[in-house]
Amino acid sequence: MGCFGFLKAMMVVFNGIIFLAGAAILGVGIWVKVDSGSILSFLGQIENAPVELSQLLNVGYLLIAIGALLLVIGFLGCCGAVKESKCMLLLFFVIVLVVFIAEVAGAVVILVFRPLADELFTKFGEAAVKNIRKDYGKDSDVTGLWNSTMNTLQCCGFYNSSDFVGSPYYDKYGQLFPPQCCPGLVGPCNQTVADSDTTITGCFPKIKQLIDENTSVIVGVALGIAALEICAMAVAMILYCRIKSRED
């Protein structure tokens, strides 16, 4: 197999993976839109939530758009290489280039507007605490979602156990906190026990800690994706030029 054949095979394999990934993401996006009991519908019910939070409800459409884009890219890459179509390869190159430019622009925007993101999280935190104090222990959907989140992340409340003070659960059970705030305790979880337990933290600090600890991984993945996109564009242009030169 010569260099040309090797590049064709790599384009087919690489874009076949992209095609399958796009199909999976598209399926998840459709599932999110039809699942009325998902976390997205819960976020839409949070009282006094910041206006910007409503944009999260469009994540299903975002996944559908990303999945469809990956399907198109994978299809063009595979068919362009197999059929040696200059039109498909050129279109593949243009789409990947546009995506690459958009990713670079997005990274710049995130770095420049980082303070606005912190402000949004602060507003979201205020709304989340109000939601806990209003519905936790009264609304089964809200209670179940928070319990699942706390069990999964091993955390307590949004910031800490004080978020539950004044909630229906807190009042109903005689000023007790959920058992997730006192892991391993056999007995009631009261203020004294929760304050003395220094191993449990809020879900937001826990998520922030996970992100901070894996920043290098996130950056590495982003750089890896960028490198793959550059390689894909380079291979597409090489195949395009070789096919054009043979036709000429």
The answer to whether the pTM exceeds 0.85 is no
Residue with tokens 């089964």: 140
CATH match of 136-207 with 1.10.1450:
yes
Work out the average pLDDT over 218-244: 85
pLDDT of residue 41: 54
Cβ contacts of 188 within 8 Å, gap of 6 or more: 173, 176
Structure tokens at 7: 């590049």
The amino acid at residue 15 is N
pLDDT of residue 52: 46
Work out the average pLDDT over 131-159: 87
Q: Say yes or no to pLDDT of 15 above 80.
A: yes
pLDDT of residue 92: 92
- CA dist., res. 230 & res. 73, Å (int): 14
Which pLDDT tens digit goes with each residue over 85-107?
889 889 999 999 998 898 888 77
- Give the DSSP letter of residue 93: H
Which pLDDT tens digit goes with each residue over 169-225?
988 888 888 888 887 776 788 777 766 655 578 888 888 888 778 878 878 888 888
Average pLDDT, the chain: 80
Cβ contacts of 205 within 8 Å, gap of 6 or more: 155, 159
More confident residue, 39 or 196: 196
Structure tokens at 204: 């937001």
Which pLDDT tens digit goes with each residue over 105-130?
877 877 777 677 677 777 888 888 99
Work out the average pLDDT over 25-38: 71
Which pLDDT tens digit goes with each residue over 41-80?
555 555 555 544 445 556 677 788 888 988 999 999 888 8
pLDDT of residue 45: 57
Provide the 10 A C-beta neighbour count for residue 244: 12
Domain coordinates in residue numbering, the chain:
3-114+214-247, 136-207
pLDDT of residue 51: 47
Q: Could you tell me the pLDDT band of residue 38, with boundaries at 50, 70 and 90? A: low
Q: Say yes or no to pLDDT of 30 above 70.
A: yes
pLDDT of residue 211: 77
- CA dist., res. 125 & res. 178, Å (int): 19
